[in-house]
Amino acid sequence: MRLEAAKSAYRRYANVYDALFGPVLQAGRKAVMQALQVRRGDRVLEVGVGTGLSLPLYPPDVRVTGIDVSGEMLAKARARVQRERLRNVDALLEMDAQAMSFADGSFDKVVAMYVISVVAHPERLLAELRRVCRPGGEIFIVNHVRSDNRAIAAVEKALARFSDQLGFHPDFELRQLAPGTAVLDEISRINFFWKVLRLRPLAGETGTAPG
């Protein structure tokens, strides 16, 4: 989904996002928190942080930075930080996750929940996640992947032309994720639609975004 289309879709969603996608996507957020295994002081980056539904789930002794392209979604996240007095959130920044301004290796853990199949260039996003993750760090992803069931996959493919309206690509292909540069583990399957994945960049492989 092009940047402007994403901004426009999530501008429309911002006021209703928590009601529509709060409880229904919460299992994936909780599964990532369990898998994270953070240490005191760890620097965590969450890309596509949205309205910040995950923010209250992070342990209080880590430092969290969130980014999103939607100013409207971020406004909700900032209000949540204030309302819930979340002192572990360092910054919520408007930024494209496909071209981040952070230095290489800035974060111990990087989290991308329900966002990879939303962006126009998932391979650039993944390269950026690897670049900003420190050597030995870990990247956690919750994403929809194209169904192995042929009938469902056919429906997903048919829906793909409406990606801009839906706000994500229904036929996202898992094999795009880590072509030879990282170890990809499936941590858990939330349901037939959503999976939690962990990506550990291979030694010497920093993300270099393809042109």
Ligand X SMILES: C[S@@+](CC[C@H](N)C(=O)[O-])C[C@H]1O[C@@H](n2cnc3c(N)ncnc32)[C@H](O)[C@@H]1O
Contacts of 4 by beta carbon, 8 Å cutoff, 6+ apart: none
Element (H, E) at 79: helix 71-83
Q: What are 193's two structure tokens?
A: 């639609």
C-alpha 187 chain-centroid distance: 15
Stretch touching ligand X by CB under 6 A, among 114-122, 146-154, 156-164, 197-205 = 114-122
Looking at the Cβ atoms of 8 and 88, the one nearer to ligand X is 8
User: Residue from 36, 45, 58, 98 that binds ligand X (CB under 6 A)?
Assistant: 98
Give SS3 for 182. Answer: strand
Candidate residues 73, 110, 178, 199; the one interacting with ligand X per rule CB under 6 A: 73
Return the residue of 32, 62, 119, 177 that touches ligand X, per CB under 6 A. Answer: 119
* Closest distance to ligand X from the beta carbon of 8 (Å): 10
Residue window 13-52: x/- pattern of binding to ligand X, with contact defined by CB under 6 A: --------x---x---x-----------------xxxx--
Residue 156 contacts residue 173 (beta carbons within 8 Å):
no
Distance between CA atoms of residues 19 and 58, nearest Å: 21
- 31, 36, 92, 115: which one binds ligand X (CB under 6 A): 115
Nearer to ligand X by C-beta: 96 or 138?
96
Whether 144 contacts 152, CB under 8 Å? no
The residue among 101 and 154 lying less far from ligand X, judged by its C-beta, is: 101
CA atoms of 142 and 158, how far apart (whole Å): 23
The stretches of the chain forming alpha helices (DSSP H) are 3-13, 17-21, 26-36, 71-83, 122-132, 150-159, 163-166
DSSP code of 187? E
- Complex with ligand X: residue 20 or 154, whichever CB lies closer: 20
- Residue from 43, 64, 70, 139 touching ligand X (CB under 6 A): that is 70
Stretch that binds ligand X, among 78-86, 95-103, 130-138, 173-181 (CB under 6 A): 95-103
- Largest Cα–Cα separation, the chain: 47
Residue 127 in contact with ligand X, rule: CB under 6 A: no
Distances 150 to 154, 155, 156, 157, 191 between C-alpha atoms, Å? 6, 9, 10, 10, 17
* 163: contact with ligand X by CB under 6 A: no
Give me the residues that bind ligand X (CB under 6 A), please: 3, 6, 10, 21, 25, 29, 47-50, 53-54, 67-70, 73, 96-98, 113-115, 118-119
